[in-house]
């Protein structure tokens, strides 16, 4: 829920700032700015809650802690690359793939009731998937519309 709030709040603030500064709203830029800030926010979690996030990594993946650090770094790089025009589209496609690949970790966390912030098995449980799966789809659509489709116009 926190990443969604960060995304939407940053999007709204960016729209207002651009409207005041340029006199017009740039929805695609504001959406990419929101995604950039959200990715930087979520990347922090990879370094602050490493133990709990390592519990989320599916069992068949080795080097779980290293994978958590790596995916945090990927989020930081993707956040920055979304703001570089010549990297934007390829970054968006890679982010879409990243969001799809992260879904098994979220499913595992839900099924095993992992609380990644505390590193315990007292999390939200399977009902969380009713929110998380549509949220992942929302993130995919957000990136697609703000970075890929926007580049066609």
What are the residues whose beta carbons fall under 8 Å from the beta carbon of 44, sequence distance 6 or more?
72
> Is residue 61 in some structural domain?
yes
The closest alpha carbon to 91, from 45, 25, 150, 17, belongs to: 150
Number of folded domains in the chain?
Answer: 1
> Is residue 130 in some structural domain?
yes
Backbone angles phi, psi at 48, to 5 degrees: -90, -35
pLDDT in tens, the chain (153 residues): 899 999 999 999 999 999 999 999 999 999 999 999 999 999 999 999 999 999 999 999 999 999 999 999 999 999 999 999 999 999 999 999 999 999 999 999 999 999 999 999 998 888 888 888 999 999 999 999 999 988 776
Residue 51 vs residues 24, 57, 87, 152: alpha-carbon distances, Å: 44, 10, 32, 41
Within 10 Å of residue 9's Cβ, how many Cβ atoms? 13
> Is residue 57 in some structural domain?
yes
> Is residue 115 in some structural domain?
yes
Q: Which domain holds residue 98?
A: 43-152
* Token pair listed for 143: 């990136």
pTM as predicted: 0.93
> Is residue 114 in some structural domain?
yes
């Amino acid at each position: 829920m926190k990443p969604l709030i960060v995304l939407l709040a940053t999007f709204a603030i960016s729209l207002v700032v651009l409207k005041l500064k340029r006199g017009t709203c740039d929805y695609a830029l504001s959406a990419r700015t929101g995604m950039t800030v959200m990715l930087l926010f979520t990347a922090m979690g990879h370094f602050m809650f490493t133990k709990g996030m390592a519990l989320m990594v599916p069992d068949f993946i080795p080097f779980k802690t290293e994978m958590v650090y790596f995916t945090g770094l990927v989020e930081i790089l993707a956040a920055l690359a979304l703001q570089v025009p010549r990297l934007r589209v390829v970054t968006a496609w890679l982010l879409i793939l990243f969001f799809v690949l992260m879904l098994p970790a979220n499913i595992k966390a839900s099924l095993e009731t992992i609380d990644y912030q505390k590193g315990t098995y007292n999390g939200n449980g399977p009902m969380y998937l009713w929110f998380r799966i549509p949220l992942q789809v929302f993130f995919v659509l957000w990136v697609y519309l703000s970075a890929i489709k926007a580049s066609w116009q």
